[in-house]
Structure 1
Amino acid sequence: MSSQLRIIGGEWRSRRITFDDAPGLRPTPSRVRETLFNWLQADIPGSRCLDLFAGSGALGFEAASRGAKSVLQVENNAKSCQTLKHNIAALKTDKIEVVPADVRQFLAYCTETFDLIFLDPPFGQDWIRPVCQQIAQANLLAPYGKIYIECERNLALTELPSNWRPLKQKVAGEVAYNLYQRQ
């Protein structure tokens, strides 16, 4: 079964994209996306973005719609990857690329740097600490680049890289969303 969500700003404003109801998939709610992209409005144009645990692709599509130069979406669910590719074709864009891979394996081999990284892993599986450590060790976040982390409301974001400075933090329902900047 598939569902839809609406892109809330930019070139594709009000366009709908589809996503599959995969286990653990929780697209970032529109009010959270609106707040996040208000925070990032000056950073998006021309940026290189990495969307880890892409799922519905909401964050990556929103970034591309608002002027990101490129978006790399990493997702390991084959059906979700197919749907992401279908949405890319429907929007007729070459700014978004889907990488069908496990996030940890992808990070082990990635050599690019990104201006923005979106990290929204499945809840309750302890992904944030090890993925953030991999991102820092591989130097994937550009100097002064920003990383968005979405997690369970009650999850303490400890053991993050010491050169990531917290910029913004909010809570909506059971979701905490955080923005950090590499110093």
Structure 2
Amino acid sequence: MSRRHKSNDSAGEGRETEIRIIGGQYRGSRLAYHGDPVTRPMKHRVREAIFNLIGLEAEGRHALDLFAGTGALGLEALSRGAASALFIERHIPTARVVRENIAHLDVDDECTVLEASAFVWAKRDLPTGKNTPDASRPWLVFVSPPYAFFVDRQQEMLDLVTSVLQHAPPASTMVVEADERFDFSLLPGPVREHRRDDGWDIRTYLPAVVGVWRKE
């Protein structure tokens, strides 16, 4: 997965320039990343930890990668059996990289790339079902914007997550990646205190902090 971050984000150090699919049908496939400074790939170990955490939950689902970057999260989900993937990326050169990676894996028929702001999509399209997967099967939603968005655009992020959770079909899973500056208790629903509790399952993989919500 790649994410767009300001240069002063805490994750800016140790930039990884090679991105590969970690598991599933396309395991080992290399994804394009042209070194654009507005796109920072998520560390391999964090992406691997996320998919270890959600296990087989990609199987048969619609994947939504709302801040797509290189598209690695949505493509990883397809590799692990997702039925389709919607990539939302407002930065046009980066959206071209998503399309390049889709073509490289030859999964064009399963993918849709939307060159738009995820915030605009959530307000304009999500309530009407336009540019949105149908509700015939659960969704697997990835929300991994620039970390600074959780500070500078916090209310917009909260509104986006709330809207997606409201419209997602039952049994959907949402993965939110932030950093330590964000308080996950601000999101709708409780934060787990114990492993068997309901609510956001929060895991820390510094600099990333990941929250997983499973909708009943």
- TM-score range with shorter-chain normalisation? 0.7 to 0.9
**Could you say which residue in structure 2 is the equivalent of 1:96?**
111
Q: CA deviation at 1:31?
A: 1.2
State the percentage of identical aligned residues.
28
Q: Within 5 Å, which residues of 2 pair with 1:43-62?
A: 43-62=57-76
Q: What's the offset of the Cα at 1:168?
A: 2.8
Higher helix share: 2
Q: Tell me whether 1:148 sits opposite 2:175 in the alignment.
A: yes
Aligned in 2, Cα 1:163/1:173: closer, same or farther, shift over 3 Å? closer
Q: CA deviation at 1:39?
A: 2.1
155-164 vs 93-102, greater mean Cα deviation: 155-164
CA distance in 2, matches of 1:141, 1:23: 33
- Give unpaired runs (5+ residues) of structure 2: 1-16, 192-197
> Which blocks of at least 5 consecutive residues in structure 1 are unaligned?
none
Deviation string for 1:108-155 (max 9, x for gaps)?
Answer: 21214452100001111225312112223xx33221211000001231
What is the Cα deviation at residue 58 of structure 1?
Answer: 1.4
Residue 173 of structure 1 deviates from its aligned partner by: 1.9
Alpha-carbon distance in structure 2 between the residues aligned to 1:28 and 1:152:
12
Deviations 1:55-106 (A, max 9, x none): 1211111001111000101000000111111111111112222111111111
Q: How far apart in 2 are the matches of 1:101 and 1:117?
A: 17
Q: Which residue of 1 aligns with 2:148?
A: 124
* Match runs of 1:25-40 below 5 Å: 25-40=39-54
SS in 2 for 1:135: helix
Q: CA RMSD in A?
A: 2.1
TM-score (norm 1): 0.88
Structure 1 pair 158/128, CA: closer, same or farther in 2 (3 Å)? farther
Measure how far apart 1:23 and its partner are. 4.7
**Conserved? CA contact 1:129–1:158, under 8 Å:** no
Q: Could you tell me how far 1:24 is from its partner in structure 2?
A: 4.8
Looking at secondary structure, tell me which structure has more strand per residue: 1
- The answer to whether the 8 A contact 1:20-1:56 is kept is no
The separation in 1 between residues aligned to 2:169 and 2:188, in whole angstroms, is: 14
Report deviation, 1:171. 1.3
Say whether the 8 Å CA contact 2:21–2:27 is kept in structure 1: yes
Query: What SS class does the counterpart of residue 41 from structure 2 fall into?
Result: coil
Matching of residue 173 in structure 1 with residue 206 in structure 2:
yes
Cα distance in 1, alignment partners of residues 190 and 83 from structure 2: 25
Task: Please give the TM-score of this superposition, normalised by the length of structure 2.
Answer: 0.75
CA distance in 2, matches of 1:24, 1:129: 23
Residue pair 2:189, 2:199 contacting (<8 A) in 1 also: no
d(CA) in 2 for partners of 1:18, 1:79: 12
2:215 is matched by which residue type in structure 1? R
**CA contact 2:70–2:101 (8 Å) conserved in 1:** no
